[in-house]
Amino acid sequence: MAIRRRTTKLLAKRHDLNYFKKGSPIRTWQFRLALIAIIAAVGWIALSSIHSAQAFSSGPISSSHAVFGQKCEACHKPAITGAGFLPVGLGVSRSVPDSACASCHSVGLHHANQTIASKQCSTCHIEHVGAMHLANAPISGCTQCHANLEVRSVPAAVATHIDNFTKGHPDFRALRTATPEVREAAFGLKFNHADHLKQDLTGKPNGEKVTLHCEYCHQVEDPAGRDSAHSGRMANVNFERSCQSCHSLEFSAKVNEQAPHAEAAKSLEFLRAKMQAISPGDKTALVKAETILFRQKCALCHTVGNIDALPATTITNRINNSGATFINASFSPAEMQTALSETPTIAPSHAPARFFTAALFSHSSHNTVQCAECHASALTSTSGNDLLMPNIGTCQRCHDGQSRPQGPALSDGHAESGCSLCHEYHETLQAQLKTGILRDDKAAFRIDQLSSAH
């Protein structure tokens, strides 16, 4: 039997070369379904772009910009002039120019007279990465300049090689520049923290034993109606609230009222009026009262001028039933004349409201940490001129250089260390008022322009 030979040519003749030119029910439906899918997709994109730009969004917007809803055109401007009528995303590139940010945000330049480089807002404030606080810019936005800072002024007034909070960042300015003379002039107040933090102090009016804590005197002030720099700021100690319960300003056993904690002239005026009412013409009683108030009370914390005109306090003292201390002595006519002719003065205390003059700090954010963890030197401080602010090493125990202000969250045991946590990049409102950099109210939006129709 002859062997059947199959060649490539013979095999090729078995295939219909016009197969794809012939129609079939399956291929017809495949074409129709594909065409319907394309038309539906284009139609869906067109319809969605009319009512919403969510189809083109690269991610959720920050919480501060949530008011815009789907009004993408409020920030995104077409790269081609006159193409604003086209739907967002349909082949027209839309950027966010600085002018779009400035229409709402009144900010000044960042040290415009010093820095060489100038960055766009979107370089540091990255949108569409989640509902985070947009002002908390990534640390890279700062270190791109401050890791190798070039300044016009020579020498530089700031550190020029800061990679993060733990690498290159100098200690706080207040600690670097506060000499003893500066502290003396700044505070002007005598105070012993160590004595006040002892246990079982004798309190008044009943002489009960008390143990003071930091919060008894130091309280966060109410920032209502003030700028963001006051948020979490520690208020100056208030005499009436924190001191007067133990350190009264009584000056006579016959007067139930205390002298006002005010300027020396006002306190002296109050004292003389009360003494004139209870002991008219009694100069000895008047000198005793002035000696008690200014030598024994005011001079305990303040530097009192003309104090030598008052009799020395080497006088026999006695304590009345309420626990107040009064002197019992007589004075010569010359001593009384000198005491009554001189008006005591009190050097005011100038405790600064803020030690961080170029940065922000919130005590409220740190209320889970004991005061002595940061202000350990207060436990042994015996002088009112001691600067008890913690150094940068204390802060670095928690803020260890890791920074993720825009997520994901840091692992346990680490605190945020981004630059924006303490520093404001832009000029302050006061500086804006001086330079005239303020937003024009005509550029503001109406509510209906911001809100999306749902």
pLDDT given at position 364: 87
pTM exceeding 0.75: no
Residues 9 and 146: their CA atoms lie apart, in Å, by 76
Q: Between the CA of residue 434 and those of 395, 423, 444, what are the distances in Å? A: 34, 21, 22
Residues 230 and 235: their CA atoms lie apart, in Å, by 9
- Strand 209-210 to 304-305 pairing: unpaired
pLDDT given at position 48: 66
Residues 110 and 428: their CA atoms lie apart, in Å, by 10
Q: Residue 279 in contact with residue 286, Cβ under 8 Å?
A: yes
Q: Which of 236, 235, 202, 207 has its CA nearest to residue 221?
A: 235
Q: Between the CA of residue 314 and those of 67, 293, 302, 310, what are the distances in Å? A: 72, 15, 20, 12
Would you state the structure tokens that stand for residue 287, as one six-digit string? 């000198």
Residues 347 and 298: their CA atoms lie apart, in Å, by 10
Residue ranges in the chain whose pLDDT is less than 70: 1-4, 48-57, 69-70, 79-94, 107-118, 131-132, 151-155, 181-182, 184-186, 204-205, 223-230, 312-331, 406-407, 427-454
Q: Residue 85 in contact with residue 49, Cβ under 8 Å?
A: no
Q: Indicate the residue type of 102.
A: A
pLDDT given at position 320: 43
Q: Which of 349, 352, 348 has its CA nearest to residue 234?
A: 352
Would you state the structure tokens that stand for residue 325, as one six-digit string? 């201390």
Helix 333-341 with 283-290: angle, nearest 10 deg: 60
Give yes or no for a cis peptide into 352 (omega within 30° of 0).
Answer: no
- pLDDT tens for residues 79-132? 666 555 555 555 455 678 888 887 777 766 666 555 555 677 877 787 887 766
Give yes or no for a cis peptide into 348 (omega within 30° of 0).
Answer: no
Residue corresponding to tokens 């990049």: 425
Would you state the structure tokens that stand for residue 180, as one six-digit string? 């003893």
pLDDT given at position 228: 59
- pLDDT tens for residues 425-436? 775 555 544 444
Q: Which of 170, 230, 80 has its CA nearest to residue 391?
A: 170
SS3 of residue 273 by DSSP: helix
Q: For 190, phi and psi rounded to 5 degrees?
A: -90, 125
Q: Between the CA of residue 401 and those of 42, 79, 169, 418, 421, what are the distances in Å? A: 49, 39, 10, 8, 12
Give yes or no for a cis peptide into 205 (omega within 30° of 0).
Answer: yes
Q: For 318, phi and psi rounded to 5 degrees?
A: -140, 155
